[in-house]
Each structure stands twice: as C-alpha cells, then as structure tokens.
Structure 1
Amino acid sequence: MDVTRDSSPRPAPHPAPLPDLAAGGPDGTGAAGSTAATGKAQPPRATSGGLTRPLLRKAAPSARPAPAAPPVRPDDQDGPPTRPLTPVRPRPGPEAETPAARRPPRVDQAVRERHALTLPGWLALLMLLAGAAGVLAILVRAGVLPEFEALPDIRTDAVRRGGPVGLTAPEIAAVAGLGLMLVTVLAGLLSNPGGEARVLTRWGRYRGTVRRAGLLWVNPLVRRRRVDVRLRHWRSDPVTVTDRTGTPIVVRLLVVWRVRDTARAVLSVAEHEAYLREQIHAVLSRTASRLPCDSNSGPGPALRDGQWFADELSRALAAEAHAAGLEVYSAQPLALEYAPEVAESMRRRRLADLDAGLRTVLVDDAVEAAALAVRRLERATAHELDEAARSALMEHLLVAFVAPAGVTAPVPAPAARTARTARKEGANRTDGRQA
C-alpha cells in the first residue's frame, strides 16, 4: 500500500455542524438525559436569535487535551494493532534552498599567544662568569695553567713540590659539568630588539612568545622564530578587477596592518604576509563588484563617492585576517582608474555626459534669464504682452544668450524681424486707439 502523502496544500473541509443539545444529542438523549447520565451539571446556555449555544468558560489549568490517536490503515482495522505511520516529508526544491552566507575563517582557540618563560640576561651573564672562574680555578689548582702572581697561590702541595701535573677524576668531572653549564647558558642567550618578537616551539609544540626587548635567557632546546610586530604598511601592485557594470578597473591600495597574535601568525598559516596579500586581492575583487566605478550615467552611489569603498575594504579585510592573528587598521585606495583597454572609450563617454549636462544647465539658465527679462520689460513699460509677442521675445533672447556659449539655434532673418516688429507695433497702436 502506498503510504506517501501529497504535500500540496488542500482546502480545509467545512466544519460539521454542532448537534443541538437542547433537542437531543446524536445518541437521542437530550440535555436532561446527559445530565442524569453523567451526574454533572451542564454549563448554562445563552440563547441568541433562537439558537442555543453554551457559554465559553476558561479551561481549568489541570485540563489537558487528549492525545491524538495515531493513524490506522483502513485495511487493518479488524486485525492486530498496527503501529503509526510516519508521514513522508517532501524534499525542498531548488527554489526553497537559501544560499549559504559566506563567513570568514574561524579562529583556532587552541592556538593563542602567551608569554614564554624567560630569565633576565644579567643572571645568565653572572652564571657565565662564575662558571668560567670555576674552570680556571680548577685548571690552576691542578697545574695545567700557570699561576698568576697577582692572585693567591691555590695550587695543591704536590704541584708545589714539583709533582706530576694533571687532573684527577673528580676535577675532570667538575670541569665537564662547568663546561656543560657554560654551553647551556651560552646557547640560551637571546638578544631581542624592540619591535620584534620570538615565537618559541619545542618539537612542534608552542611554548610561548617573547616580546620583551633586551638580553634574555630562554630554554636552549626551543626553536626561535622571528616575527616583526611593528606597525607596517603595504602598497599593493596594480590589481585589475571589474565593477558592478562589468567594466575592468585598476586599483592600487595602501594597507596598514600589524601582527597582533604571533602564535596564530606563525602556526595557523604557512606565511602570514602571503596570506594577507591573497586576501587583499580577494576582498578587493568582491567589494569592487558591488558598485559601479562612476555614477555619471545614472543616479546612485559609486566607488569614487565618499569613504564607503575604503571603509568596506577595511572591515572585510580585518575580518578575513583576524583568524591569522593579523590586525588591519585601514585599506585605502591610492588610485582608481579604468583599465587601458577601456580608458579612452570611458573618457569620451564621460566628456559626452559632461557636455550634455553643461548644455542642459546653460539652456535652463538661459530660459530663466529670458523669462526674467520679459517680466522686467513688462513691468518697466506697464504693458502686458500677449502670448505670441512673449514667445517671439523669448525666442530672440534665448538665441542671444545661448549663441555665445556654442549652442546653435535658428535665428530669424532681419526682414522677417522687421515685418514682425511692424505688425506688433500696428497691433499695439490699434489697441491704444480702441482704449
């Protein structure tokens, strides 16, 4: 038997009408019969328009709805009990899938910078002097080295009497121990300049970071890796990307950054500087594709407008570099220009847009100046021109204003202007006589 169910929505069935309890329930018993059968008083009823309905009451806190019975197959109702069927959920189609939002790489919490165990350098120097003095004293005492006249005589009695010169077994052990101590102290000396840190690892395990400048002593068995923790800047090479319209552009960036967590910078990535360069290129390509380079062709923001481009680059690059222990302060575009293959065509397009905008501004200004001149003329002569005369005067004024700016317009011939002026003067005289 096919147990799959159709996942398409179906119209809800009409609710069945409630039985009239006043007349009798479905079993033929009325309200009184149901009260007598159950032994409980029925709730009061309200009558509205000839229909009897029970009054709504707030359910008791202890009252719980009865659990729904599991679905039973119709062909097994008379047989043994069956187990409930699990409804088959439809799989979401491609339109229901939501694209996964890209997230920056996660930070490895197990790798975190901590201070390494170090000793002051002066203590190591004292140990070196003490060990060297002990070795010299043993050799002089055994007669291996000549006695210094300025120092007291510490040679043994046998050496003084001219006996055999040599080291005994205890003296050899002491010299070997002091020599091993001198080698250990010398191998552990570390001169750390300012602005640098040393990451210490032993057999591949992180043992701490030394940021303190000066002469220090560390464990001679650890490996020391030098990391520059000063504030640094990096000027990128010209990077070719595409903007939102698909136009190739060339961008040069100046990135200010420093190493914040030396353990992550050394152990999380193979080379943190190469990682930063690749992330700069990726973030630049992703950010530049969100807006067009210029907004001359249409309204809206562009990459050249304001600080949005620099702020978005700094934010995205800081999030990408955080996992590698790097701190990015700013990423500023030094140059933003079109690629050489489209630079000439974009320059011509920009000049055409500027010329069209300039012409529009000039024409608007000329129209306003002509309208103002006509109004001042009417105010000065105390005579209001008709529509034809106003249009003709506006046309001449526009030609006079726009022609010096390079905007050509048809100018009427002098004879036509004289005839038109005569007609206007005759019309004005006729109107004056009639008045």
Structure 2
Amino acid sequence: MTTTKAWHVNGFLALLIALASFAGGIALLIVGGNRPEPNGWLIVAGIALLLLFIVLLTSLTIVQPNQAKIITFFGRYKGTVTDSGLWLVVPFTGKTKVSLKVRNFNSQTLKVNDAEGNPIEIGCVVVFKVTDSAKAVFDVDNYSKFVEVQSETAIRHIAAHYAYDTFSDDEVKPSLRGNADEVSMELTRELQTRLSIAGVEVLETRLTHLAYAPEIASAMLQRQQAIAIIAARQKIVEGAVTMVESALKQLMDNGIELDEERRAAMINNLMVTIVSDRAATPVINTGTVYG
C-alpha cells in the first residue's frame, strides 16, 4: 500500500451550490405543496435538490495544514488529500485524518544487559513524522503504538552490542557512554529499517538516560574510581622519573659527582617526596656523634 493523490476540487464552490440547492429545494416544496392542487413536479424537483444538498455535504472535507485525509469508498482506498483547505471529494466516502507533523516519542527507562552482560538502564527520545499516510493507516494497526514498541525493541538490540564504558585506554571498541553520537546514528538506522513498513521517517534519536542498574552501580563506581586512581598514579610516576633524571643531569652538569650509594639515596628521597600523596617530613642529618 502506497499513498496516491485523491481526486479533489475547490470545496467553496461546492458549498455555495449545496446551500443554493437547499434553499431551492425548500422553496420548491413550499410552492408545490401550498397550491390548491399540489404540483408533483415541483415537489419532486424540491426533493431532488435536497438530495443534491445531502450528497454535496458528504463530499466536503476540511484539511488542516500538515494533515492528510485518507479517502475510502466502501472499503476501497481512493487516495489521499494533503493540500490544506476546503475540498470536494467523491461523495459517500470515509475520511480518515492523519497528522504529518513532527512528533517526539520519549521511551521509558529500560533495563537491559550491555555487551559485557552488565545490567544497565537506558532510555532515548525518537523524533519522527509520517511520510506515507496510506502505509501508516492500512499497513499497521496503530502507527503510534507501532513506533513505541519498535523503538524499545531497537534500543534493547543496540544496547546489547555495546559496552557501557571502556575501562582501559588500550581498548578501542566503542561504548554507549563514550560514543553517544555513533550509538545514536546506529539506533536511527535500526529504527528506520523497522519503521519503514509503517510509512514513518525517523529524523533523529538521542539517548536521554544511561546509567548502571542500582544493584551494580556502587561496585561499578568503585571500579571507575580505582581505574582513575591508577591512571593518575601512572602519570605521577612518569613525571617523577622525568624530574629525577633532570635533577641528576643538572648535578652532573654542575660538576657534582655522587657515588652509587648517595645517588640511590637521592633517587629514593626524590621519588618518595614526589609520588607520595602527603606532604613530606624531611629528617635533617646534622652530623655524627662519636663516643
């Protein structure tokens, strides 16, 4: 089922003809019935004009901006009217209204397992609009409900292919938290494939909620903190080694030579001072006491 253009003409002229038919029919009935001998021809003409008025009324339809009217004639699809205004269509037809406006669907917070099996909570917003009104009405039972169900299904499917986060700089795999744009594009493609049967175009999808499930949130927070501490310590150690090398080089450039024992003691003191997360408390050697 695909959308086709329905036959329609200006409805204002038809409305004027309908009002004139109504007035003429009433007048003919009154004139033909008030005579001493009723005039059958006038009465028949009056009835015919009233029937014409009823037929024209069933043919009129109003289409609002960004709206479509599905025209069906005794169960057969005759086409769609998308031009806004008052129109005259085929009489005795059904007229189903379909909105063509851009709409938002905000999914519920879903609990799913990511690629590593961790339970997470995820939600998204889907921006869509109807582009094929015939498919939206005839190919699915309720296109709004269809969008909701398929959106949640696509979210579960996409979330199962990505990990919540990467915990190592060596990992290059995309994650839900670190690659939000890529995940959104993948979700948009997945949804468009699923919703094309309903004549719906997906304009954009964005994750609105992403978190670990409550039962593992505390453990994962501790894991993230531990990883952050380790990464910070690695940077501190790298900086400390560079500073010690620079200090030894400056001493050698100034002609100060240290034996292996004093050199090791100096390196130990500098490393402890720089790497320690607390302020150093130096012990000053003032000399040696002999008995």
CA distance in 1, matches of 2:38, 2:88: 32
Q: Which moved more, 1:346-355 or 1:257-266?
A: 346-355
The answer to whether 1:369 aligns with 2:243 is: yes
Match of 2:56 in 1: 185
The answer to whether 1:322 aligns with 2:196 is: yes
- The amino acid across from 2:177 in the alignment is R
Q: Which runs of 5+ in 2 are unaligned?
A: none
Match of 1:397 in 2: 270
- The amino acid across from 2:2 in the alignment is R
The answer to whether 1:304 aligns with 2:177 is: yes
Say if 1:178 and 1:227 are closer, same or farther in 2 by CA, change over 3 A: same
The answer to whether 1:332 aligns with 2:222 is: no
Give the drift of 1:390: 2.6
- The amino acid across from 1:115 in the alignment is K
Match of 1:211 in 2: 82
Say if 1:136 and 1:291 are closer, same or farther in 2 by CA, change over 3 A: closer
For 1:256-335, list aligned pairs within 5 A.
256-297=127-168, 299-300=171-172, 301-306=174-179, 307-335=181-209
CA distance in 2, matches of 1:217, 1:122: 8
Give the drift of 1:375: 1.3
Q: State the secondary structure of the residue aligned to 1:302.
A: coil
- The amino acid across from 2:152 in the alignment is H
CA distance in 1, matches of 2:158, 2:235: 35
Match of 1:174 in 2: 45
Q: Which moved more, 1:384-393 or 1:394-403?
A: 384-393
* Matched-pair contact (CA < 8 Å) for 1:230–1:259: yes
Q: Which runs of 5+ in 1 are unaligned?
A: 1-110, 145-158, 420-435
Q: State the secondary structure of the residue aligned to 1:274.
A: helix
Say if 1:174 and 1:407 are closer, same or farther in 2 by CA, change over 3 A: farther
Give the drift of 1:373: 1.5
Per-residue CA distance 1:49-73 (angstroms, 9 max, x = gap) = xxxxxxxxxxxxxxxxxxxxxxxxx
For 1:7-406, list aligned pairs within 5 A.
111-139=1-29, 141-142=31-32, 144=34, 164=36, 167-297=38-168, 299-300=171-172, 301-306=174-179, 307-380=181-254, 382-403=255-276, 405-406=277-278
**Bigger fraction of residues in strand:** 2
Give the drift of 1:413: 7.0
CA distance in 2, matches of 1:310, 1:328: 12
Give the drift of 1:387: 4.0
Per-residue CA distance 1:123-176 (angstroms, 9 max, x = gap) = 2112113213322442453364xxxxxxxxxxxxxx5xxxx1x63221121111
Percent sequence identity over aligned pairs: 31
**Bigger fraction of residues in helix:** 2
Say if 1:143 and 1:348 are closer, same or farther in 2 by CA, change over 3 A: same
Give the drift of 1:256: 0.7
How much is the aligned-residue C-alpha RMSD, in angstroms?
Answer: 2.3
CA distance in 1, matches of 2:204, 2:214: 28
CA distance in 2, matches of 1:201, 1:407: 84
Q: State the secondary structure of the residue aligned to 1:142.
A: helix
Per-residue CA distance 1:174-209 (angstroms, 9 max, x = gap) = 111111101111122211111211112223321111
* Matched-pair contact (CA < 8 Å) for 2:100–2:129: yes
TM-score (ref. length: structure 2): 0.90
CA distance in 2, matches of 1:290, 1:169: 81
- The amino acid across from 2:31 in the alignment is R
* Matched-pair contact (CA < 8 Å) for 2:71–2:93: yes
Give the drift of 1:400: 1.5
- The amino acid across from 1:310 in the alignment is S
Q: How many residues align?
A: 285
